[in-house]
Amino acid sequence: SYDNDDDSDWDEADEMEGEASTVLCLFCTSTFPSPEHVFQHCASEHNFDIISLSWKFKCDCLYYIGLINYIREHRPDPEYILRYDDTGSPWDEAPWKDSKYLRPFLQDDMLLTYDIEGLKDCSDLSNSVVVSREEYQQLQSRLLSAEETIKDMRKTAAVFLQDGPTSISSFPTVGSLRVEEDEPYFESYAHFGIHHEMLMDAPRTEAYRDAMKMNAKSSIEGKIVLDVGCGTGILSMFAAECGAKEVFGVDQSEIAYSALGIVRENNLEKKVSILKGRLEDVDLPHDEVDIIVSEWMGYFLLFEGMMDTVLYARDKYLKPGGLILPDICNMFLVALNDTAIHGKLVKCWDNMWGFKMNCMKQEVVTEAQVTSVPPEGVCSKPVIIKTLDLNTCNPADCNFSAEFDLEITGAATEITALVGYFDCHFSLPSPVILSTSPHAKPTHWQQTVFLFEKPIAVTAGALIHGSIDCRRDPRRRRELSVTISVNDHRYPSYHLR
C-alpha cells in the first residue's frame, strides 16, 4: 500500500536544480519554469491549447481549476477533453465540474494560480494579436527560453538512449526516494497478514521451493545467495536447505526482526543472516554473490516498483554469470466477456436504489481492478505485451508501449474488459514457471482487470487491434498508470494504486 496524499512525493520536484517553482506538464513528465511555458508545450507537443479552449467555452477560474485538477488526477488523453462536446454531453456538465476537483491534486501547483479570467477581454487570437513592444520582447525571450529547454531535454534523451541499460541512474527509481518518503510502503509489510497471504499462496511458494530443490546440486549447493526483500525469510531458508554456503536476507520492513527469530527457531542461523535496512543502504560482508532470489512481483507484475531493487542488487553484487531467480517475466493481455464483474462494478450505477448514478462509472473505470477472473470468461487468445529479462533490463523498462491484436475465440458477442497477468520463468537445468493466468491455479496476484464503461461488440474469429502504454507515476513511483486504445478509441488512463 502507499499513501496517495503523501505530500513528500513532491519533494523530488524541489530537488531538481534547486528550483521549487517548476511546473509539471498536464500530459507528460516534462517540467517548465512557468504556466505559460507549460501552455506553449501542451499546444505544440500535445495539440492541447488550453487558452483557446478557455476562450471558446468562456471558462471562469473555478471551471479552469477543476479542469486542471481533473487532468492531473485522471491523466486523460488530450483528445478526450477536446472532443468532449462532440459526445453530446453538455460542456457545463463535464466531470471536472464536480466540486471535488476544486481541491488541488498537486501541492503548490502553479497552474492553479494562473489568472484565466484575465484573458476574457482578449480578442480572437486565431486571426491576429496586438501587443506592445515590451510584451513582444518578453514573448521572444520566453520562446528562446523554451527552445533552449527543449534542446536540453533532447540532449538528455540522447545520452540516455546512447547509454542504454547502463544509464539507470537517469531514471527515477524507488531507491532514490528518501527513507521517510518510502516508509508507508515498508510499513505495509510489517503486519503478519500480508506474509500469511503470500506464504499460503501455494503456487507462488512452491515455484520458488521447487526451483531451488530441483536444481540444488547443479545451481544452489556451495553458493552465496542474496534474498532481496526477504520478508519472513522463507526463500532464504529454502536456499539454505538446498545446500547454499551462505544466505543473506535483506528487508527494510519491521518483519526483518521476525525473520531473525524464525531463522533461529529453525537452527539455520549459521547459514542465514538477516539484515534490517534498505538494500541500497546496507553493506553485505561479500563484494559478490552467486545468486539473487527475490519475490518482487506486484500486481500487473510492475506495481510497487520492487524490480528496481533487484536490478540494483544485480548491478552491485551479482558476479558475472550469476543467477537471478526468477529471471524472465512475460506480461500478457486477454479479452474478457464477464457480465458479472461488469455488472457488479459498472452497470450497477444505472440504478442504485431507484436513482441514476452514471457519473460514478467514470470513477470506477479509471481504477484497474485486481480480482480473480473466471477462466470461462476469457474470450481471446493471449498476447505478450512485454518481456523482461532481469539479466539485462533496466528500471526504465517498466515504462513501455506495445501494440496488440487479440483474436476472439468462442461465441462471445462483446468484451467487457481486458485482463492483464504475468508469468515468471526460473531458467535452470530443471526449469520452473510461475503463472498468474486465469487458467492457472489461483495466486494472491489474481489478475488485473481494465474495465470498459461500455462493452465492445465482437464476433468470433475477429481481431481486436489495440495498444497499451504502461507508465510509472512520476510522483508516486511505486504506482502505475496504464492507457489502452482499442479499435482506434483511446480510453482514459487506468491507475494501479
Please write the tens of the pLDDT for every residue from 133-146. Answer: 566 556 665 665 56
Q: Is residue 188 part of a domain?
A: yes
64 & 91 share domain: yes
Helix (H, G, I), strand (E, B) or coil at 27: coil
Which structural domain, as residue segments, surrounds residue 351? Answer: 328-496
The residue with cell 486565431 is 126
Asked if omega into 76 is within 30° of 0 (cis), the reply is no
Q: Domain total for the chain?
A: 3
487 & 340 share domain: yes
**At 412, which CATH number?**
2.70.160.11
Mean of all residue pLDDT scores within the chain: 84
Q: Is residue 163 part of a domain?
A: no
Q: Is residue 148 part of a domain?
A: no
**At 292, which CATH number?**
3.40.50.150
Give the contacts of 75 (CB within 8 A, at least 6 positions apart): 27, 481, 483, 492, 493
Based on C-alpha coordinates, what's the Rg of the chain? 25
Q: How far apart are CA 422 and CA 426, in angstroms?
A: 14
Strands 289-293 and 318-325: parallel
Q: Which of 90, 109, 130 is the last residue of a domain?
A: 130
Q: Is residue 155 part of a domain?
A: no
- 162-181 pLDDT, tens digit each: 444 434 445 666 655 566 56
The residue type of 447 is: Q
Asked if 188 and 1 count as a contact pair (C-beta separation under 8 A), the reply is yes
Catalytic residues: 295, 304
Q: How far apart are CA 282 and CA 244, in angstroms?
A: 21
Q: Which of 99, 130, 161 is the last residue of a domain?
A: 130
Q: Which of 325, 351, 380 is the last residue of a domain?
A: 325
383 & 309 share domain: no
Q: Is residue 470 part of a domain?
A: yes
450 & 311 share domain: no
Give the contacts of 189 (CB within 8 A, at least 6 positions apart): 195, 231, 251, 253, 255
**Three cell numbers written together for 31:** 517540467
Q: Is residue 176 part of a domain?
A: no
302 & 359 share domain: no
**Closest by Cα among 281, 282, 240 to 264:** 240
The per-residue pLDDT for 84 is 75
Helix (H, G, I), strand (E, B) or coil at 24: strand
> Each residue's pLDDT tens digit in the chain (497 positions)?
334 444 444 444 344 433 446 899 999 888 998 898 999 999 999 999 888 887 777 777 888 888 999 999 998 888 888 877 666 666 667 888 887 888 888 888 888 888 787 664 444 444 445 455 566 556 665 665 565 555 545 444 444 444 444 344 456 666 555 665 656 665 766 667 778 998 899 999 999 999 999 999 999 999 999 999 999 999 999 999 999 999 999 998 888 999 999 999 999 999 999 999 989 889 999 999 999 999 999 999 998 888 999 999 999 999 999 999 999 999 999 999 999 999 999 999 999 999 999 989 988 999 999 999 999 999 999 999 999 999 999 999 999 999 999 999 988 999 999 999 999 999 999 999 999 999 999 999 999 999 999 999 999 999 999 999 999 876 777 889 999 999 989 998 899 88
In total, the chain counts a number of residues equal to 497
Give the contacts of 238 (CB within 8 A, at least 6 positions apart): 208, 209, 212, 213
Q: How far apart are CA 200 and CA 164, in angstroms?
A: 39
Q: How far apart are CA 292 and CA 239, in angstroms?
A: 11
Q: Is residue 243 part of a domain?
A: yes
Q: Is residue 169 part of a domain?
A: no
Q: How far apart are CA 218 and CA 221, in angstroms?
A: 7
Give the contacts of 344 (CB within 8 A, at least 6 positions apart): none
207 & 296 share domain: yes
469 & 334 share domain: yes
230 & 336 share domain: no
196 & 289 share domain: yes
The per-residue pLDDT for 178 is 62
The per-residue pLDDT for 108 is 81
277 & 199 share domain: yes
**Three cell numbers written together for 254:** 519491521
320 & 358 share domain: no
304 & 367 share domain: no
491 burial via Cβ count (<10 Å: 0-12, 13-18, 19+): buried
**Three cell numbers written together for 411:** 461465441
